[in-house]
Every structure is written in structure tokens, then in C-alpha cells.
Amino acid sequence: MSDRLDTQISYWDAAAATKTFTHPLHLPWLAGIGKQAAILDYGCGYGRTLDELERHGFGNLTGADISPAMIERAQLLHPAMHFTTLDTPPSMPSPDADFDVVLLFAVLTCVPGDDAQRRLIAELHRVLRPGGILYASDLLLQDDERNRSRYDDYATLNGGHGDASYGVFRTGDGAVCRHHSREWLTALLADFEGIDSRTVTVSTMNGHESTGIQILARKAALT
């Protein structure tokens, strides 16, 4: 899968002014996290989840995104928060073990390639401290006719599923996105210890109801 599809910056820049994101933040999962914990929202968009965290008293918040327009909107809405535009994703300009918690909300869906997803998760593992928490929310493979036919259409146009995993598709407005099997997500997060997971129904950025999964996991603590 071409690297270009794993960083569709012009699509996300155009989306910055128009899209609303909705994956729900399940606050009970953060109940044990101190209010001054260093929290990174990777692929933060316009800062929606950071805004919710701030309203619940969290005070050490950082957002990172590939889209300069998303970061501009986020910074305008939240002048006191710290935001970073990623020039060479997934690389974060942060030392190892810099964060206590990393959120990854509806970002894997924007990164269709297996290898790009593996690099992204490895980078988040690097910047999390031992014992730190990863909270991911993303979309599962959908079983309805509309989705199954767009997975098949994309595979057909690209010479079969090959190394492009089943579940990649083109949206009506031109992004290449991916839905995931539970097995793939388990394999992708194999370096983390699972804590909890939940199935959620979300409205996608293009207004369709879809089934998502939220995963709470921990980077192994030092022994």
C-alpha cells in the first residue's frame, strides 16, 4: 500500500472546516488517571476529545495531527493547549516515555496500510511510559451490503486483496479508509496488555451508523 494513502493530508485539511467526529470518550476508563497526567491525543483533529478532557479537569494535554488545518482549528478553539503538527508521521517530537496516557481515536481508520499501522503503534508505545495507558477507538469490519461492496470494489480496483487487508475502501468524498477485524487489532496491539474493551455504535464523519470498538490497554511496567 502506497505511503501516500497513509498520510492523506489534503483530504484532512479540507475536512477540518466541515467534519464532526463522534467516537465517545468513556470517562469511567480514565477514573484512575490523575488530573495532571500527561495525555497525548494522537490524531487529535480539531481537539474534540481534548476539550472534553479539559472540561473534566485534566490539565496536561497535548494534541498531534498531520493536518495543519486541523491543528489551526484546534489551536484557535483551545489557545492554552499544546498542539503539534506532525511533519513525518508517525514520528512524535517527544522523548521516550513522555506520556502517561495516549488516546488514538478514529485514526487507524485513516491509515490503511498494515505496515503504517504497525509503525504508528510502535511510536505510541515508545512515547508512553512503562505502565502507561493506550485508549484506542476505531471501526470494525461492517457486515452490511454497502460496506461489503465497497471493500470488494477497492480490492478489485487494486488487483485483489493482496497485501492490502480486507476492509479498505474509498469514501464517497475521496478518502481511502479502513475497517478492521478484531483479530487484526489484537495482533496490532500485541505489545500491550489488554485491560478492557467495549463495542460502540458511532456515527461516522459522513453520517453513517457503524459499529466500533474501544480498547483500553497498558504498556508493560518495568519489573
Residue ranges that bind ligand SAM, judged by CB under 6 A: 6-7, 12, 21, 23, 43-45, 48-49, 65-67, 70, 86, 89-90, 105-107, 110-111, 205
Residue 185 or 205: which CB sits closer to ligand SAM? Answer: 205
- Least distance in angstroms from the C-beta of 80 to ligand SAM: 19
Instruction: Report in angstroms how near the CB of residue 45 gets to ligand SAM at its nearest.
Output: 3
Instruction: Give min distance, CB of 222 to ligand SAM, in A.
Output: 28
Residue 42: what are its φ and ψ, rounded to 5°? -85, 125
Nearer to ligand SAM, 37 or 40 (CB): 40
**Smallest distance from the beta carbon of 149 to ligand SAM, in angstroms?**
22
Query: By Cβ distance, which residue is nearest to ligand SAM?
Result: 45
Task: List b or e across 159-180, with b for residues whose CB sees 16 or more CB atoms inside 10 angstroms.
Answer: eeeeebbbbbbeeeeebbbbbb
Q: Report how far apart, in Å, the C-alpha atoms of 202 and of each of 39, 127, 170, 188, 199 are.
A: 23, 28, 19, 22, 10
The cell 490497554 sits on which residue? 217
Nearer to ligand SAM, 10 or 156 (CB): 10
CB 199 within 8 A of CB 137: no
Burial of residue 29 (CB within 10 Å: 0-12, 13-18, 19+) is middle
Of residues 156 and 172, the one with the C-beta less far from ligand SAM: 172
CB 110 → ligand SAM: shortest distance, Å?
Answer: 4
60 close to 99: Cβ distance less than 8 angstroms:
no
DSSP 140: B
Nearer to ligand SAM, 55 or 159 (CB): 55
